[in-house]
Structure 1
Amino acid sequence: IKLGEKILTNGTRSDQNFGSSATLTKFFNPTTGERFCFLSNTDGKNDATIDLQADGKYFVPAWSVSILDGCNKEVYNTAKVNSQTSMFVKEQNEKENAQLSWAWAPEPMKDTLQGNGKFAANLLLEQKRVTVDFSDYFWYMTSVDTNGTSSLQNVTLQVNTKGHVLHAFVNKRYIGSQWGSNGQSFVFEKPVLLKSGTNTITLLSATVGLKNYDAFYDMVPTGIDGGPIYLIGDGNVKTDLSSNLWSYKVGLNGEMKQIYNPMFSQRTNWIALNQKSIGRRMTWYKTSFKTPGGIDPVVLDMQGMGKGQAWVNGQSIGRFWPSFIAGNDSCSATCDYRGAYNPSKCVQNCGNPSQRWYHVPRSFLSSNTNTLILFEEIGGNPQHVSVQTITIGTICANANEGSTLELSCQGGHVISEIQFASYGNPEGKCGSFKQGSWDVTNSALFVEKACIGMESCSIDVSAKSFGLGDATNLSARLVVQALCAQN
């Protein structure tokens, strides 16, 4: 686009149709004679070969646009992106970290469960304006007196919140948790048992990242902003608590004490992990692990944990939520970019966690032993957490006629095997390629000669390279699937 910036902003535009789906959009500067063109094919299924006479012939795949510099040289096509796909192999780091030894400590909540905050207001505050990104967590606390109030029997607590997550306690007892779909507002409703006299309601609101795009994204509210909050008793009689005196506190006590920091975590009374400490809400877990050898990236497999945050040597590696499982109803075995977009198009990993592996930058790691601390919000089992390294296993590349195919392994690995190679019109995707209706029979031998034993290689994709002379086929492409291994 930058190549044609001056012509696009100062030239005149004209369109020329080639059938029902192919269009040439030309920008022309009458003063300089310069041209810049877009050649589009809006057919959702069929490719097109367009003859522009003196400006040449162009193969335009279905549902794509070619950019022609000078209207006679293709510099880009949206469906001909030459790129490498890497399939990563995760390896358990058993040499240094075969089995992690865990300890735990409860999140101190005595003050908040008793309704003691740091400041108060007779309204329900918006969360992020108060927390100002200091913490994901914000406590809302109030008290209700039931003396002589016959309607507050068989009571349901109803909380209208703008998300993202809510944990509720009444009289120090946990009554439930809930979260919205895709960060949306939701209504929390749970039956509660109120005692005669003063009852304490404690609500912990948690955010899971904040919106960072779209118009007025900074104005999107979070937390129990305005509520309302009701106690609903017999006969559907509602008691509105929204204008009660609410006590507030930002963050967890564990955050204030910096339990996650090895410099301060020694002040905490850590207890050896036992069966009762597995699956606990609001719990801190601690272990140590040795830095894996080599230079491969390091990840934590957080399978088994619920929701929370993780720190390595006091450095945050982010929030985890592997118990949040993607739905099973949108995935398909095939993925076709062509045609109009819809949100469920090419969806993958249905029925799996939204994220399971979490990168630990090697710059966070010491030369020997490291401290890993987790805060678990809803209950999980740290015994399933493991330290792993990642390396590239299978690599795939695709390049169209007239371009260059490039393959590259990483970390000193070399290309050890060509699992598939086809110059022609191959089909499928990385891991399941197959030959199309035509193919040059020596494709694999040619690629093996150029790439086996190399850390990286480049191949000119042309009919001449594959022994077809000058019989150029504009729709031809080269697809390669290779295996990387240690040298």
Structure 2
Amino acid sequence: MFHLSSSSKKWWNRSSVKGLLNEPKYRHLRDLHKVIKQSELTLVSSYATLTSLGSNQEANVYRSKSGACVAFLSNYDAKYSVRVSFQNKPYDFPPWSINILPDCKTAVYNTARVRKPISIKMMLACGGMSWQSCNEETPTVNDSDTLTTNGLWKQKNVTRDSLDYLWYMTDVNITSNEGFLKNGKDPYLTVMSAGHVLHVFSVHLLISMYRRILVGTVHGALDNSKLTYSGNVKLRADINKISNLIVSVGLPVNFLLPVSPMLAVGTEPLFGLNEGSRDLAKQKWSDKVGLKGESLSLHTLSGSFSVEWVQGSLVAQKQPLTWYKAIFNSPGGNEPLPLDMVSMGKRQIWINGEGVGRHWPGYTAQGDCSKCNYAGTFNEKKC
């Protein structure tokens, strides 16, 4: 099994969905599908006749030429249960629900009545796994597949909305007479972006190898994806390299919905220099789309041999842009297996080279969770 601390696939379409049955919701929706299919011929071969059954109650009745009849009895009252009479028979409703009568006589399904599950789901841990890790390489401006531009381009203009990731890289030339080199007050960097996540790195050349140092990570909020990173960055009397990795949520583009904002890194002032401040956004920048590990297919067995992995105490802990892999034996039985990845950040998971899902941490509800009431019209703060 492989998983990456941040996924590089934009999205994918799957013909099937695998996983554990979510009861009792699964059985409730399965029964709804069953009764609709049972009534399909009548529903598609006739028009509904609407009849009032009360101030907030009505009946939609479908009758085919062959004499078949299907009725939907609705109670739109969000507070009170009611009893109505339909074709001289009484029917009881919970608030905000619909009774389905596939023969216009017997109510076989109600949208608000959920049957209790016939079994209780229990999770049995199969034990931990021995993990190995390797770090995703930080690209440099000398890489062959980088694009050099004047200023900063918007993410979708470069990635064409195909991948979640875009690197922005630039050089910061620091001379030996800079005051901060003597007084120890590191320059102050500010980076603004339209979202959704930003990793800021400083990259130094040490003995013919580039060493990446994470300067900071910020992410946008649920109601506003815009973000700002502000913090000190260590620079040397040399040509320093600043690398910004901008990450988008990675939802597919739906042409029936409004297009999401064109994500971009904005102005990048660097404060604390002899000249006062320097606007890095006006410099030359090199852009690189995607991650190297994905191009090497590290998530496959054959691709995993193209890099060196570390294990034991050397395994990376809580570091962005890290690949992890482990080998495990399948437990007995044919039931789906849940994966406990509660400690993950934004990641993608593969098993035997097949992508099994992406993980993007949600926002945790604040305060105590009260009993949920689904009756009434929906709003985003409900349930």
| 1:228 paired residue number | 266
Q: 1:103 to 1:78 in 2, by over 3 A?
A: closer
The secondary structure found in structure 2 opposite 1:300 is coil
Q: 1:159 to 1:263 in 2, by over 3 A?
A: same
Q: CA deviation at 1:220?
A: 1.2
Counterpart of 2:348 (choices 309, 322, 326) is 309
Counterpart of 1:46 (choices 71, 80, 95) is 80
Provide the C-alpha distance between the structure 1 equivalents of 2:163 and 2:169, rounded to a whole number of angstroms.
17
Counterpart of 2:192 (choices 138, 142, 160) is 160
| 2:214 paired residue number | 174
The secondary structure found in structure 2 opposite 1:229 is coil
Structure 1 portions without partners, runs of 5+: 347-487
Q: 1:303 to 1:42 in 2, by over 3 A?
A: closer
Counterpart of 2:373 (choices 336, 347, 355) is 336
Q: CA deviation at 1:48?
A: 0.6
Q: 1:101 to 1:60 in 2, by over 3 A?
A: closer
- 8 Å CA contact 1:140–1:202 kept in 2: the answer is yes
Q: Give CA-to-partner distance per residue, 1:231-266, whole Å, 9 cap, x none.
A: 15369x764443432211122222222222211322
| 1:364 paired residue number | none
Provide the C-alpha distance between the structure 2 equivalents of 1:302 and 1:214, rounded to a whole number of angstroms.
33
Q: CA deviation at 1:318?
A: 2.9
Provide the C-alpha distance between the structure 2 equivalents of 1:320 and 1:70, rounded to a whole number of angstroms.
45
Aligned residues: 328
Runs of 4+ residues over 6 Å off in structure 1: 31-36, 113-116, 148-151
The answer to whether the aligner puts 1:122 opposite 2:150 as a matched pair is: yes
- 8 Å CA contact 2:43–2:70 kept in 1: the answer is yes
Structure 2 portions without partners, runs of 5+: 1-35, 205-212
Q: Give CA-to-partner distance per residue, 1:435-469, whole Å, 9 cap, x none.
A: xxxxxxxxxxxxxxxxxxxxxxxxxxxxxxxxxxx
Q: CA deviation at 1:331?
A: 1.9
Q: 1:100 to 1:75 in 2, by over 3 A?
A: closer
The secondary structure found in structure 1 opposite 2:302 is helix
Write out aligned runs for 1:101-140 (5 A). 101-109=130-138, 111-112=139-140, 118-128=146-156, 130-132=158-160, 135-140=163-168
Q: Give CA-to-partner distance per residue, 1:132-163, whole Å, 9 cap, x none.
A: 56543221112234559999x86433333232
Identity rate, percent: 31
Q: Give CA-to-partner distance per residue, 1:328-376, whole Å, 9 cap, x none.
A: 42622x2332234343433xxxxxxxxxxxxxxxxxxxxxxxxxxxxxx
Counterpart of 2:287 (choices 221, 245, 248) is 248
Q: CA deviation at 1:47?
A: 0.9
Q: 1:170 to 1:270 in 2, by over 3 A?
A: closer
Counterpart of 1:203 (choices 241, 244, 248) is 244
Provide the C-alpha distance between the structure 2 equivalents of 1:239 and 1:55, rounded to a whole number of angstroms.
83
The answer to whether the aligner puts 1:272 opposite 2:320 as a matched pair is: no
Provide the C-alpha distance between the structure 1 equivalents of 2:85 and 2:334, rounded to a whole number of angstroms.
51
- 8 Å CA contact 2:84–2:90 kept in 1: the answer is yes
Q: Give CA-to-partner distance per residue, 1:301-340, whole Å, 9 cap, x none.
A: 2244444333222222233356x662342622x2332234
Provide the C-alpha distance between the structure 1 equivalents of 2:195 and 2:163, rounded to a whole number of angstroms.
15
| 2:327 paired residue number | 288
Per the normalisation by structure 1, the TM-score is 0.56
The secondary structure found in structure 1 opposite 2:231 is strand
Q: Which amino acid letter does the alignment assign opposite residue 122 of structure 1?
A: N
- 8 Å CA contact 2:52–2:58 kept in 1: the answer is yes
Provide the C-alpha distance between the structure 1 equivalents of 2:349 and 2:199, rounded to a whole number of angstroms.
20
The secondary structure found in structure 2 opposite 1:288 is coil
- 8 Å CA contact 1:155–1:231 kept in 2: the answer is no
The answer to whether the aligner puts 1:187 opposite 2:228 as a matched pair is: yes
Q: Give CA-to-partner distance per residue, 1:36-75, whole Å, 9 cap, x none.
A: 76533233332111123x4422112111133556866646
Q: 1:310 to 1:72 in 2, by over 3 A?
A: closer
Provide the C-alpha distance between the structure 2 equivalents of 1:344 and 1:234, rounded to a whole number of angstroms.
44
Provide the C-alpha distance between the structure 2 equivalents of 1:7 and 1:157, rounded to a whole number of angstroms.
67
Provide the C-alpha distance between the structure 2 equivalents of 1:117 and 1:229, rounded to a whole number of angstroms.
25
The secondary structure found in structure 2 opposite 1:265 is helix
**Larger CA Rg, structure 1 vs 2:** 1
